[in-house]
Structure 1
Amino acid sequence: MTIAEGWVELVQDRIEVPRSARLRLTENGLTVVPVTFAHRTTQRRIENQIEQRLPGWVATSEFSVVPPREGYKPEPDATAIPVDLVQTDRSDISEELLPFVVEVVSPESRNRDYNTKPSHYALRGIPAYLIVDVLSARWTLLTRPEDGEYQHEESGVFGDQIAIPVADQTLTLDSSEFVRI
């Protein structure tokens, strides 16, 4: 870890941010981002569907993906991990445990969610990356990471069923439950 990486973590740990906002490290520095009703409600509904439709797995959010790469630890909006691998004393999850990650797009995060994060997640070997765009009521599922890029892309509109491969199962999300801004 470089001095800059250590400094960022120290600052993030010590700054108090209201519950209605998130502190994000972007290429522009540390940014306080408001969390909209559409974002949080959609995130919660995704987590609920994971819990209901993926036996033996638990939904999680509010975590960092480790190890840091290029000084960056992404914080996806949702994922699932096997129940028997949950570490209740941790707020980070190893990239090796993640079968997929979900990002719910906010006005502030749109560029990162579509243009920066796909390569970050593909480089980590995360098998699937779902972008849920509450601004346009569309979704994009990227799969098959290879050499830092996802090789397959599917997309659709809210109302579609989204099939995400998870280990030896398929998680089917009902996007009609998602909320548009």
Structure 2
Amino acid sequence: MTVSGIDRLHSQLSRFEDMFPGYRMEIVEGNIMMSPVKPHHAETIRQVWNMLAAQVGADWGFTSDVAFPFDGDNEFCPDLAVIPAPEVEKNEGAYSPDLIELVVEVVSQGSIRRDYEVKPRWYASRGIANYLVLDPLKGHVVTMWNPGSDGYRGRDTIPYGPDLTVDSPLGKLTLATGRLPVDPKARAGS
């Protein structure tokens, strides 16, 4: 896709975001993707942000739903990305994915394939050390590490409940998963 093509998509994305409040928009594989956001989605982000903020130093900051252009066909807006604090302070609308030390996505019904299949390849290809997929639909977290050019070589799926410790370049980070929200439909199906 050409630069003018990505600019056109980005312009359309901005328009759609205004037209469809309550939806999260990204450019994935050259297409504008919309996912409805539910309260469990936002609550998961809030809890994880608070837990991580209490553990990382002042040198690190957080972004949520801010664009990270990977190439002409992929501009992801991670639910949560940890990047250097001076970069966050610039208050930009887009940042280089090379700044991300840890990335978190929260699964919604419309993002399953993107969060589990598409994004791991892209995040790993840029050397992002840790990728966490929190899934309120299934009540588990998938932690990925050891990035390579074709994806993450390490991957564990842990049901919500016990604390999760992530060995990251930011240090050992602990997430209390026992109180993370789970979709009531997921509980009924288990």
Structure 2 length as normaliser, TM-score?
0.85
Q: 1:54-73 alignment to 2 at 5 Å?
A: 54-56=56-58, 57-66=60-69, 68-73=70-75
Which one of 151, 155, 167 corresponds to residue 165 of structure 1? 167
Tell me, what secondary structure is at the counterpart of 1:9?
helix
Contact 2:67 2:94 in 1 (8 A): yes
Partner of 2:88: 86
Q: Which 5+ residue runs of structure 2 have no aligned equivalent? A: 184-190
Contact 1:64-1:75 within 8 A present in 2 as well: yes
AA aligned opposite 1:9: H
Partner of 1:98: 100
Residues 64/179 of structure 1: CA separation in 2 closer, same or farther (3 Å cut): same
TM-score, normalised via structure 1 length? 0.89
- In 2: Cα distance, 1:50 partner to 1:93 partner: 20
CA RMSD of aligned residues (A): 2.0
Aligned twin of 1:129: 131
Whether the 8 Å contact between 2:133 and 2:141 is mirrored in structure 1 is yes
The runs of at least 4 consecutive aligned structure 1 residues that moved more than 6 Å come to none
Q: Distance in 2 between matches of 1:162 and 1:138?
A: 11
Q: Contact between 1:23 and 1:33, CA under 8 Å: does it hold in 2?
A: yes
Paired residues, number: 180
Partner secondary structure for residue 89 of structure 2:
coil
Output the CA distance in 1 between the equivalents of 2:93 and 2:167: 25
